[in-house]
Amino acid sequence: MPVIVTSEKDMASLNIKNRLLELYDFTETGDFFENSPIYKFADILLITTVKDLIYADHLEENIKADLFVFASRHKSVSGTPALLVHSPGNWTDEALYGGNPRELSVAPPQAIKEALIELANQKEKLDLNKYDVTLEVTHHGPTSMNTPLVFVELGSSEREWKDPVAAEAVAHACIKAAKSLDKMYKIGVGFGGPHYAPQFTKVVLFSEFAVGHIIPNHVFDKIDRDMVVKAVERTSGEVEYALLDWKGLKKNHKDFLIPILEELGLKIERTQRIKGRK
């Protein structure tokens, strides 16, 4: 059963929750989670936690799910309005924003793809022209659960967190993610590029590929073979491809990475060569 998770500590999350309740036929189940009613629509549960979502590693102990979809705020220094999707994890010894060092959640490529496509569709439908639609690379917590987990986010300042129209777009994307478990795509793990992942965004939106974890260029000097293997092992489904942002990787990083990918038996594709292919 897929579970959409919202947080009492997150203004955007509560805005998205309200839109979900308005737009879809969620009804109270009569049960509670952390003193908030549990809602159900079709086979999808909607719950609210008292914790900030990046610290919500405890959910698996209390809720049985096939997939967690976290409806969350996104914050950036630039404050650029944005609708975003990613899975959580920490590549290095730093774990400043939840989770554990060098630990990854289980990334669900189908849910990531379905959510991103729906955000792009809703941007057009709802005239959210000022909002960027993008994937982010894997970052922050929670990291320790074994249930696949995706963040669908509304950013990047309080003005956007309160925007009911943008929250509607995220609400629809959460539902699409929750209904993604039976979707079939070519599954890959991403390597290279910046934090906001334009090459992988294009690949996911415009090709037959779905992407799980994405390792950004800036962490390659701090990771080892084990983290590359984890990126593959902690992406759900049958991972057949390594998708490389070729221009977004330094030569020494390619020299480190490619032998590992070949050893794992992955088919290597360059993002610059697959975008737009159907």
**CATH superfamily name and code, 2-274:** AF0625-like (3.40.630.50)
Q: What is the spatial order of strands in the sheet that 132-135 belongs to?
A: 27-33, 36-41, 44-49, 2-7, 67-75, 149-156, 82-86, 132-135
CB of 210 closer than 8 Å to CB of 204:
yes
- Phi/psi for 253 (5° steps) reads -70, -40
CB of 47 closer than 8 Å to CB of 5:
yes
Mean pLDDT of the region 182-195 = 96
Q: What is the pLDDT of residues 1-32, one digit of tens each?
A: 999 999 999 999 999 999 999 999 999 999 99
Residue that is written with structure tokens 């080892």 in the block = 224
Q: How far apart are CA 58 and CA 34, in angstroms?
A: 12
Mean pLDDT of the region 178-199 = 96
What per-residue confidence (pLDDT) applies to 278?
43
Q: What is the pLDDT of residues 86-104, one digit of tens each?
A: 999 999 999 999 999 999 9
Domain segments of the chain: what residues?
2-274
Q: How far apart are CA 249 and CA 257, in angstroms?
A: 10
Q: How far apart are CA 249 and CA 243, in angstroms?
A: 12
Q: What is the pLDDT of residues 220-267, one digit of tens each?
A: 999 999 999 999 999 999 999 999 999 999 999 999 999 999 999 999
Q: Which residues contact 22 (CB under 8 A, 6 or more apart)?
A: none
What per-residue confidence (pLDDT) applies to 276?
60
What per-residue confidence (pLDDT) applies to 191?
98
Q: How far apart are CA 154 and CA 46, in angstroms?
A: 18
How does DSSP assign the chain, residue by residue? -EEEEEETT-HHHHHHHHHHHHHS--EEEEEEETTEEEEEETTEEEEEESS-GGG-TTHHHH---SEEEEEEEEE-SS---EEEEE--EE-SS--TTSS-TTEE--B-HHHHHHHHHHHHHHHHHTT-TT-EEEEB-S-SS----SS-EEEEEEEESHHHHT-HHHHHHHHHHHHHHHT-TT---EEEEEE-S-SB-HHHHHHHHHSSEEEEEEE-GGGGGG--HHHHHHHHHTB-S-EEEEEE-GGGS-HHHHHHHHHHHHHTTPEEEEHHHHTT--
Query: How many residues in total does the chain contain?
Result: 278
Q: How far apart are CA 77 and CA 88, in angstroms?
A: 20
pLDDT band at 77 (very low <50, low <70, confident <90, very high): confident
